[in-house]
Every structure is written in structure tokens, then in C-alpha cells.
Amino acid sequence: MDQIPLAERMRPAKLEDLIGQEHLTRPGTFLYQAIRSGSVPSLILWGPPGVGKTTIANIIANEVKAPFYTLSAISSGVKDIREVIQKARFQQGVVLFIDEIHRFNKSQQDALLGAVEKGTIRLIGATTENPSFEVNAALLSRCQVFTLNPLGKPELEAMLQQALEKDLDIKKRNVKLKETDALLRISGGDGRKLLNLLEIVIDSLPGDPVVIENDRVMEVAQQKVALYDKSGEQHYDIISAFIKSIRGSDPNAAVYWLARMIEGGEDVKFIARRLLILASEDIGNANPNALLLATNCFQAVNVIGYPESRIILSQCVTYLASSPKSNASYTAINQAQALVRQEGDLPVPLHLRNAPTKLMKDLDYGKSYRYAHDFENNFVSQEFLPDKLVRTKLYDPGRNPRENELRKHLQKLWGDKYGY
């Protein structure tokens, strides 16, 4: 087949041909109107791999008929940025697309600031990482952030069908798409990966027609998908295995997956940030020191970087994996947020309200509130939840030594009120 990968051949050039992301691109949305009017601002496209970030950037450049430059944050530096900015001074409405902008350091991002602020360039940054963490505040404040959603089964199947119907090379092979589950499962919701996998499978299967079934897809994938993944598209599979190994208290597996990420050139901050989240989500009050260590780890690797940061990461990973586990805090906030969405804005009990004015005091704001430190053991039983939620237990301490102590303490304070 053509040397250009199928995903690239099928990349749409017009907004109406884009599959998925209707929340951003349907008529009436801000981005749709901006593209149609040609007044697209600088923006950051945030979402998982293979959901349309690069495609949307290309569509914008095509639709607004603007000079279009592309840089990759993996291979480009300040010199490359300045060269594009210099060219942009002699052109109108230049669009600069930077893929994986989260990999730019502060000085590289700072090099963009003046040109973005003056309108010399319109920046489009693509990132799989939360821009609040990875894009410096000054640059972020000058950009609109758009969040792209993962592609669902209908969108992915539509992409497959579109390829079968429109790609000339595939049409020559008389392809019959009998089953799609294996293609969808292996691609993991990544549209680019899905189309390129489809092409690999078609190239590997003889016959006319070429019949694509789950078993045949799996046979081809086992032989060839490793070559296809060598560019780093296993990123999310490996981080998933890493997190699940720590959650499962296996330091051996955890440090193996850590090594895989390090050898693959994974961003040290990406790993450390995941450890921060895990320390609260999966360990929490079973071992409060876990969050302290993860926080120190995050700060340390930001200062040191590779290669020495691998040692700090290994210390943190093995500690977290070996620690007692509890998701009680994580479960508590999930339940609390669900309750807020279900019940709406319930009124704050009068005795808990602030009373800075005489009128508020006259309305009994703060009346009957009892200051805990005025009582023995700094505790007095009173109601803190809205009337409708009295006796609602949201935090249920985990079954581990530290949280068992918390459970006993809460039982002593509240008796049977919350069922501790």
C-alpha cells in the first residue's frame, strides 16, 4: 500500500468530515464560530492520544487559509521557535502548531509569550497532560483551553467504515469488516492507532475478499503490533500496569514498569505526579507518610531530573507499593460529590453560618453554635450536616491499623450516630 500511513491519508481537511468532538465542532459552538469567521485565538487542545488534536489544528489552518507551521516539542528548541516567529513577522495570521507542548520547558514556553500576546502568531498547542500543570501560567492565560473527549465505539467504527469506503488502496483489496471488537480493544480508543492497525491487518491477510475477524486480527497483532507500538503508543497501557502494580502491593512489578517508562524516555514529572495522586487515592490515611514522601519525590525530581531522579522514583515507588492500602478518602469524596449533585445546594444550618452583621445576628445566624475548644477533649456533639443529610456517613475508615485507630476515636466521639 501507499507509504503514507492510513491514519495520515484519512486525516480530514474540513470540519464537517471530522469524526468525534461534536461538543467543540458542531454549529453554534465557540470553536466552530471562530473557525468559520477566521478569528481563531491561540488555544490549547487537551486530550488523550489519537482523538483529533493534530487533525483539528490542520483543519483550522486549512479553513482559515493561514500560513501553518508545525513544531514538535520533543525535537524543537528555542532556536526553532524564534525562526518561526521571525517568518511570521512578514505574514498574516500565522498558525504555529506545537505537538506535545507539555514537553517544552519554561524557557521554551517563555519564548512564545511575546509573539502570542502581540498576535504575531496564533499558537495551537496539543497535549495529553493537564495544561494547568504543564503550561506556564503566563502562556496559559493567553490561550483558550479545549478538552477533547475519548472516542467511543460509534466514532471508532465510523472511522473504520470511512476508511473502507474512501481509501483507494483499501478499496482495491475488497475488504469485508466482519468483526471489530479486536481492532477496538487493541487500539484502546486511539483513532490513529486504530486506522494504522487496520492497515497492518489488511496488508497481512491474503485473499479476495479480505475478511477481518477478531481471531485473525489477534494473530496479526501478536506478530506485528510491537513494531507498531515502538513509537511510544503503549504509554497509557504501561502507566496503567504501573499504577495497578503499586495498588496491588507488588513492589517488584511496580519497579519493573517504572524501569520500562524510564527506558522509554517518559517525562519524570508525569511519573511523579501519578505517584502523588496514588498516595492519596490508594493509600490515604492507612499511611499518611505516603503522601509526604510522594510530595517530596515530586519536588526532588523537578530539581534533579534524569538520570539521578530514577533512584528517587524507585524509593518512592517501592515504598508506596509496600505500604498498607486504603481508598476510604477517595470513596468519601466520590460519595460526597454524588450527594451534592443529587440533592443540590442544601441550606447551611443556621448555627453554622457566619454572622458579620447585626442583621444576620438578628436572624439567628451563628446562634447556638458551640465552640469545640471550650469543651472537654476539644469536642462537643452538635450537627454539622444540612438537616436533610443528618446521620449520613460518607467517610468509612479502611480496615488497617492506622484507620482502625481513627475508627475507634470517631466511635468514642459520636457513639452510634454514624455507625463507626
Looking at the structure, do residues 29 and 122 belong to the same domain, yes or no? yes
d(CA 320, CA 258): 13
CATH number reported for the structural domain that contains residue 369 in this entry = 1.10.3710
Q: Which of 91, 120, 147 is the endpoint of a domain?
A: 147
Statement: the pTM of the whole predicted model exceeds 0.85: no
CA-to-CA separations, 148 to 13, 15, 145, 244, 395, in angstroms, rounded: 18, 15, 10, 25, 33
Q: Average the pLDDT over 383-399 and give the result.
A: 90
Beta bridge partners of 45: 126, 146
Sign of CA dihedral 31, 36, 40, 46: positive
Looking at the structure, do residues 221 and 106 belong to the same domain, yes or no? no
Q: Residue 333 domain-assigned?
A: no
Q: Which of 106, 125, 147 is the endpoint of a domain?
A: 147
| pLDDT of 228 above 80 | no
Residue among 253, 243, 305 at smallest CA distance from 274: 243
Q: Average the pLDDT over 75-96 and give the result.
A: 88
> 185: which residues sit within 8 A by CB, 6+ positions away?
none
Q: Name the residue range of residue 131's domain.
A: 21-147
- The pair phi, psi for residue 54, each rounded to 5°, is -65, -40
In the three-class reduction of DSSP (H, G, I as helix; E, B as strand; rest coil), residue 301 is classed as: helix
> 204: which residues sit within 8 A by CB, 6+ positions away?
220, 223, 224
Looking at the structure, do residues 318 and 351 belong to the same domain, yes or no? no
Predicted confidence at residue 230, as pLDDT, reads: 37
DSSP string, 41-70: --EEEE--TTSSHHHHHHHHHHHTT--EEE
| pLDDT of 4 above 50 | yes
Q: Which of 201, 231, 261 is the endpoint of a domain?
A: 231
Tell me the residue type at 300: A
CATH number reported for the structural domain that contains residue 194 in this entry = 1.10.8.60
| pLDDT of 302 above 70 | yes
Q: Residue 250 domain-assigned?
A: yes
d(CA 252, CA 46): 33
CATH number reported for the structural domain that contains residue 133 in this entry = 3.40.50.300
Predicted confidence at residue 174, as pLDDT, reads: 84
Predicted confidence at residue 208, as pLDDT, reads: 78
Q: Residue 247 domain-assigned?
A: yes
d(CA 198, CA 164): 10
d(CA 66, CA 268): 36
Q: Binning pLDDT at 50, 70 and 90, where does residue 355 land?
A: confident
Structurally, the chain folds into a number of domains equal to 4
Sign of CA dihedral 19, 20, 25, 29: positive
Looking at the structure, do residues 316 and 357 belong to the same domain, yes or no? no
DSSP secondary-structure letter at 190?
A: -
